[in-house]
Amino acid sequence: MTLDPSTGEVYADAPVSGEADVDAALRAAARASEMWRDATPSDRRLALLIADRLEARAWEFVVAESRNTDEPLGRSARGPRRMPLVPA
> To the nearest whole number, what is the mean pLDDT of the chain?
83
If one counts the domains in the chain, the total is 1
What 3-state class would DSSP assign to 58? helix
Tell me the β-bridge partners of 2: 12
Mean pLDDT computed over 56-82: 77
pLDDT tens-digit map of 16-50 = 889 999 999 999 999 999 999 999 999 999 999 99
The answer to whether position 67 is within a domain reads yes
**What is the domain extent for residue 34?**
2-76
Contacts of 38 (CB under 8 A, 6+ apart): none
Q: Regarding predicted confidence, which is higher, 6 or 19?
A: 19
The answer to whether position 18 is within a domain reads yes
Q: Is pLDDT above 60 for 3? A: yes
What 3-state class would DSSP assign to 13? coil
Q: Is pLDDT above 70 for 69? A: yes
Q: Give percent of the chain above pLDDT 70.
A: 84
Task: Measure the CA–CA gap between 57 and 83, rounded to whole angstroms.
Answer: 11
Backbone φ and ψ of 3, nearest 5°: -100, 145
